[in-house]
């Protein structure tokens, strides 16, 4: 691992940037908010990062206590957020909302996987989930599965197939992004850019209510 650089300033913002300010670091944390990942999963999602640079960034994150390593199935090494690392969720969400205020510049590469979806949905859902909302939903975005769980005033979104979901919503990444950034109405999204399959009667309404609350969070930041 390369010698860590530091601003060497007393300011807590500078101390925070010493840990997460290097190029790619916040994007690695972003993808790990979707759940544990193998090295190859992270490299696939971060189009353009070199293997040696990803190795260096992960080593620093582990050394700083933001990420932990553990053995996964079939001997694969998994990287996952620590409790300290999970505290970056709000930071990344606010950065996403700030970034949405600007247009795309130049040629944009689509990520190799959509783990990026989880952190913004998760952060917004946690802010607005009420105690009366209870649903397990499968969100399938361009064929990639996410699990949304809401109950007892808490919600989580992870990059994983849902087990026995109450409802399944299928859509595209472009449509989800357009909805969250105010370029598509909720009605247009539901009528023309998504499909919903209900396994537990009434739970589709719980999902739609939660989606409306999440959309409100995005609109507040627009």
Q: Where are the domains of the chain?
A: 12-87, 116-220
User: What's the mean pLDDT in 87-91?
Assistant: 95
**8 A C-beta contact, residue 41 and residue 144:** no
pLDDT for the residue 222? 73
Tens-digit pLDDT profile for residues 30-79: 999 999 999 999 999 998 899 999 999 999 999 999 999 999 888 889 99
Cβ count within 10 A of residue 12: 8
Query: Could you give the residue ranges of the DSSP H alpha helices within the chain?
Result: 12-20, 25-32, 39-45, 51-63, 83-86, 89-99, 116-128, 173-180, 186-192, 203-220
Q: Is pLDDT above 70 for 1?
A: no
When the pLDDT of each residue in the chain is averaged and rounded to a whole number, the result is 93
CATH placement of domain 116-220: 3.30.1050.10
User: How many percent of the chain have pLDDT more than 90?
Assistant: 82
Grade residue 105 by pLDDT with cuts at 50, 70 and 90: confident
Q: Kindly report the CATH class assigned to 12-87.
A: mainly alpha
Instruction: State the pLDDT at residue 2.
Output: 58
| Closest-CA residue to 189 (of 202, 204, 203, 178) | 178
Please compute the mean of the pLDDT values over residues 185-202 and round it to a whole number: 97
> Which pLDDT score, from 0 to 100, does residue 73 have?
86
Q: Dump pLDDT digits (tens) for 12-36.
A: 999 999 999 999 999 999 999 999 9
Q: Has residue 134 got a pLDDT over 80?
A: yes
Query: In this model, does residue 3 exceed pLDDT 70?
Result: no
Pairing status of strand 135-141 against strand 144-151: antiparallel
């Amino acid at each position: 691992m390369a010698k860590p650089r530091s601003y060497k300033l007393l300011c807590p913002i500078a101390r925070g940037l010493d840990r997460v300010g290097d190029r790619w670091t916040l994007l690695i944390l972003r993808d790990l908010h979707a759940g544990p990942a193998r090295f190859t999963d992270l490299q696939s999602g971060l189009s353009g990062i070199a293997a040696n640079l990803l190795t260096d960034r992960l080593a620093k994150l582990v050394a700083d206590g933001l990420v932990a390593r553990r053995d996964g199935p079939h001997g694969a090494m998994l990287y996952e957020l620590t409790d300290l690392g999970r505290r970056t969720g709000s930071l990344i969400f606010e950065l996403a909302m700030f970034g949405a205020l600007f247009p795309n510049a130049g040629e944009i590469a689509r990520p190799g996987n959509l783990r990026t979806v989880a952190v913004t949905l998760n952060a917004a859902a946690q802010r607005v989930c009420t105690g009366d909302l209870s649903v397990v939903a499968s969100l399938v975005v361009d064929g990639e599965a996410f699990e949304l769980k809401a109950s007892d005033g808490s919600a989580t979104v992870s990059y994983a197939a849902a087990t026995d979901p109450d409802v399944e919503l299928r859509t595209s990444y472009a449509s989800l992004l357009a909805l969250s950034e105010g370029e598509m109405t909720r009605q247009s999204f539901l009528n023309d850019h998504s499909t919903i399959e209900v396994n537990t009667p009434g739970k589709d309404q719980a999902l739609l209510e939660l989606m409306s609350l999440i959309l409100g969070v995005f609109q507040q930041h627009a």
